[in-house]
Amino acid sequence: MPERPDIGALFVVSDPLVFVNRVAINQFALRERLPTIHMLREYAVDGGLLAYGPHFPDFFTRAGDFVDKILRGTKAEDLPVERAAIFRLTVNLRTAKSLRFVIPESFLLRSDEVIE
């Protein structure tokens, strides 16, 4: 059997197929003692170590603003393309403890959500 390469962590892409399998992916990562980082909060809630990415409720608010402007007569082509303005960091301390990771207090204080 081939030797497993030395893998130190796992970055999990955000994709609908991956999203529906997030629990199984996180269980695999824990079994293999791989810390994971994700883009969506839900991945960390379901056992991932960290999630850092755009705050999607803000996207929906901004989309509503765009719809309002279009309904009031603004042409869609005249609306600016926007980037995410708000990002969220979620840390799952249960997973960190399972992996025997110590997350520095300074990092936890910067987090938007800590799952204990």
Query: Which pLDDT tens digit goes with each residue over 70-80?
Result: 999 999 999 99
- For the chain, first and last CA: distance in Å? 39
pLDDT at position 84: 86
Whole-model pTM: value is: 0.80
Residue 22 half-sphere exposure toward CB, CA atoms < 13 A: 23
Is a pLDDT exceeding 70 seen at residue 1? no
Domain 10-55+86-115 coded CATH 3.30.390.50: no
Residue 83 half-sphere exposure toward CB, CA atoms < 13 A: 3
- Three-point CA angle 113, 59, 69, nearest 5°: 150
Q: Which residue has the tokens 């999203």?
A: 19
Residue 97 in 3-state DSSP? Answer: helix
Residue ranges of domains in the chain: 10-55+86-115
Is a pLDDT exceeding 80 seen at residue 45? yes
